[in-house]
Structure 1
Amino acid sequence: MPAPALWYFDVISPFAHLALTRLDAIRAQRPIALKPIVFGAVLKHWGQLGPAEIAPKRVHTYRLATHKAQAMGVPFRFPPTHPFNPLAMLRLLTALDGDEAAITAAFRLVWGEGREANDPQVLEEVADAAGRPDALALIGEPAVKDRLRQATEEAIAAGVFGVPSLVIDGEVFWGVDAMPMALDYLADPMAFRSGEMARVSTLPEGIQRQR
């Protein structure tokens, strides 16, 4: 049996909300494990700014997410503020072992209805979606924090640089726009290891910008 695909996400990402609605196409080809991670820690590791940290890119990204949701027919509304602190929600989803019903509820509430991720009522509804109201008490547990940190480090080690990202057989497919490419990979992995795909994977750098 092939190893499951890993879907790394952070609820801070509107594109993760959109990608979640398209995971069934991947799941038809390969089992998927859903893994919450901390996007901010990923950015810090790679020395990047988030899209919302660059003023003109922030507006563009918000419009792009809104436009894409409308084109996909996905219910969509930005939460009251963005970026927001996603840690409580991420820890809750970690405590719930990546339960899909809880993850779906989290994205529906935050990005479908535009509610505040840190609202205690929202967190309660997410826990209830998994049938685990007791999980709310685990958000502050050191073991849960450690598991979230470990998942983030695992993602970074796998080459994840943004969210959402699918990792399939060690190959990273970033964002909702890369999902068709992931499906093509699943249909024919060797096509990604030959020809132009292979050449660009080892293309040398002609210049490096000084930092």
Structure 2
Amino acid sequence: MARTTFYLDLLSPYAWLAAERIDELLPEPPVWTPVLLGAIFQATGRSSWALTDAREQGIAEVERRAAERGLPPLRWADDWPANGLLAARCATAADARGALRPFALAAMRLHFTEARQLDAEGLAEAARRAGLDPDELLEAAGRQTTKDALRAATDAALAAGVTGIPSVVVDGEVVWGDDRLEEVAARA
């Protein structure tokens, strides 16, 4: 059976849509890997659709998909999209503690269904909901080892061919997009 890697960024609404169902769709849960989408954009010369004229259309599409999947209605944080560096570092620290999945889901649910910012306060609440010590997680997010691990994961994603989030890599092939998870399931 192919081993899959699920690359995500906590501030991506499409990553949230994928995260809510990916483990159930695949025959074996993928390796969840946090990356910094802003660095991927910078490396590939792209930017977020949320910063373009397509913003309203994109928001409507995310809301439609969430409703079709029975997810709670979206509530958008005032600062979305915001700088995701601290969130990505916290996700990396949670991953090092074996708690990425519960932390990531708690953070994305806070952000996309409760309109909470993923600043230090919001990330602390996500840590609490995931059963992690908030102060310890935020402290770990500032460690050089965490920063290095996030950079390495983002570099590995780029080397694998990831240009957007969410992406899933199956046997070296990148499948990009929440709407293509069934394709990933067929390959896994």
Question: Could you tell me the TM-score, scaled by structure 1's length?
Answer: 0.80
Query: Runs of at least 4 residues of structure 1 off by over 4 A?
Result: none
Partner Cα distance (1:66, 1:31) in 2:
25
Pairing 1:12-51 to 2, within 5 Å after superposition: 12-27=11-26, 29-51=27-49
The gaps in structure 2 that reach 5 residues or longer are: none
Looking at structure 2, the residues matched to 115 and 135 of structure 1 have their Cα atoms a distance apart, in angstroms, of 18
| Distance in 1 (alpha carbons) for counterparts of 2:104 and 2:18 | 12
Q: Measure, in 2, the Cα distance between the counterparts of 1:51 and 1:23.
A: 23
Q: 1 CA distance for matches of 2:180 and 2:2?
A: 20
Larger Cα Rg: Structure 1 or Structure 2?
A: 1
Counterpart selection for 1:68 from 60, 65, 69: 65
Counterpart of 1:125 in structure 2 is 125
- After TM superposition, the structure 1 stretch with the greater mean CA deviation from structure 2, 148-157 or 74-83, is 74-83
Could you tell me how far apart the structure 2 residues matched to 1:4 and 1:135 are?
28
In structure 2, C-alpha distance between the alignment counterparts of 1:95 and 1:24, rounded to whole Å? 21
- The one-letter amino acid paired with 2:71 is V
How big is the shift at 1:24? 2.4
Query: Deviation of residue 170 (structure 1)?
Result: 0.8
Hey, what does 2:177 align to over in structure 1? 175
Alignment of 1:76-155 (within 5 A): 76-97=74-95, 99-118=100-119, 120-128=120-128, 129-133=130-134, 134-155=136-157
Q: What's the TM-score, normalizing by structure 2? A: 0.90
CA distance in 2, matches of 1:130, 1:57: 37
Q: CA deviation at 1:3?
A: 5.4
Matched, 1:160 2:165: no
Distance in 1 of aligned mates of 2:77 and 2:64: 16
Secondary structure of the equivalent of 1:16?
Answer: helix
Structure with bigger RCO (C-alpha 8 Å, 6+ apart): 2
Q: What's the RMSD between the two structures over aligned residues?
A: 1.6
- Counterpart-to-counterpart distance in 2, 1:169 and 1:117: 33
Q: Which residue of 2 aligns with 1:204?
A: none
Deviates more, 1:33-42 or 1:70-79: 70-79
Deviations for 1:97-149, whole angstroms, at most 9, x for unmatched residues? 1521111111111112111111x332112222143331121121111111111
One-letter amino acid of the counterpart of residue 125, structure 1: E
Quote the residue 1:190 is aligned against: none
What do residues 47-106 of structure 1 show as CA deviations (whole Å, max 9, x unaligned)? 22221232x212211111112212222112211222101111110110111521111111
Q: Tell whether the 8 Å contact from 1:4 to 1:168 is kept in structure 2 after alignment.
A: yes
Alignment partners' CA distance in 2, 1:33 and 1:66: 26
Percentage identity across paired residues of the two chains: 35
Gaps of 5+ in 1: 187-211
Letter in 1 for 2:104: I
Paired letter, 1:162: G
